[in-house]
């Protein structure tokens, strides 16, 4: 089985690579910017023509946290649209090739009923801070639906909840919540700060998924030949931001005082995916938050610090 993995050096791609390379029935080609510029239609088409994949896993994307999404709105929508358009146009010549497209829970409306089911898609306005990125991901879903109906491709759209793990982006201005907290708290510990400040009350509820669990879900769809469709992939476990910070501190062991600045905004009070559609097929996550945070911090110490 020839599987083409796009974006193989990112957090998701590197995890998928680790998982799928253990499967001896898979011939995995791990595409990077070194072999193919996905902003180029010509190069993307050549990649597909040369490798002749049975399955394409699209883990290529420009990603970042809320601040990066809000400040680089043009770059986020243009970069992700260009990548997805070139992939979809290139795959049209290969109707037998299955596409596994990776999205994000931000595709769902801000006011969607929680837990958020796949049926909430396109039912309301998007969260404004990352709507350009969300629109690019929604467009990828629509393009996948188009080639499925017109050319017969099998397309799976997997929508993971908030991901974290090795190879994440730990920069202060572009990271998501977990790597951002890890890097800031570690620095506060090293600099022997007396206090560590967190925005908001700490009361909002969030769901997190260790990246290797997403990779195992992708392998599950391949091995079990899961039918095309839109599937939420989550841990189904909620944690308050306060509890999350405490969990991270139990790993980092910052000795100072942790302060929640209640003058800062909390954001969405609750965000949880309904992953029952995919869970009912027989898949469950394996890595709990405590283990995932420990592994992530160890990777951070060994690779970033």
Active-site residue numbers?
133
Other C-beta atoms lying within 10 Å of the C-beta of residue 234: 27
Closest listed residue to residue 175, CA positions, set 26, 300, 30: 300
Burial classification of residue 259, based on how many CB atoms lie within 10 Å of its CB (0-12 exposed, 13-18 middle, 19 or more buried): exposed
Query: Left (φ > 0), alpha (ψ -120 to 50) or beta: where does 282 sit?
Result: left
Contacts of residue 25, defined as CB under 8 A and 6 or more positions apart, other chains included, come to 1
């Amino acid at each position: 089985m020839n599987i083409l993995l796009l974006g193989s050096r990112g957090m998701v791609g590197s995890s998928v690579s680790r998982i799928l390379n253990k499967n001896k029935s898979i011939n995995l080609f791990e595409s990077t910017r070194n072999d193919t510029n996905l902003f180029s239609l010509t190069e993307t088409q050549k990649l597909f023509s040369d490798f002749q994949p049975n399955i394409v896993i699209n883990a290529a994307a420009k990603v970042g946290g809320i601040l990066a999404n809000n400040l680089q709105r043009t770059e986020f929508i243009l970069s992700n649209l260009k990548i997805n358009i070139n992939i979809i146009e290139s795959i049209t010549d290969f109707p037998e090739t299955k596409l596994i497209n990776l999205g994000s829970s931000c595709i769902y409306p801000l006011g969607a009923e929680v837990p958020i089911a796949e049926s909430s898609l396109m039912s309301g306005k998007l969260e404004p801070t990352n709507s350009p990125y969300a629109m690019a991901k929604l467009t990828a879903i629509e393009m996948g639906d188009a080639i499925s109906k017109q050319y017969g491709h099998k397309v799976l759209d997997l929508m993971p909840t908030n991901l974290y793990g090795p190879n994440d982006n730990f920069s202060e201005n572009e990271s998501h919540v977990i790597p951002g907290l890890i890097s800031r708290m570690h620095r506060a510990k090293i600099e022997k700060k007396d206090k560590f400040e967190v925005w908001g009350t700490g009361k909002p509820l969030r769901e997190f998924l260790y990246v290797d669990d997403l990779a195992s879900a992708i392998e599950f769809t391949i091995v079990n030949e899961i039918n095309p469709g839109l599937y939420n992939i989550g841990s189904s476990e909620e944690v308050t931001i306060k509890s999350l910070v405490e969990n991270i501190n139990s790993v980092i062991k910052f000795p100072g005082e942790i302060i929640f600045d209640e003058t800062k905004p909390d954001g969405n009070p609750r965000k949880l995916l309904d992953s029952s559609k995919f869970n009912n097929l027989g898949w469950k996550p394996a890595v709990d938050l405590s283990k995932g945070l420990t592994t992530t911090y160890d990777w951070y110490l060994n690779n970033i610090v």
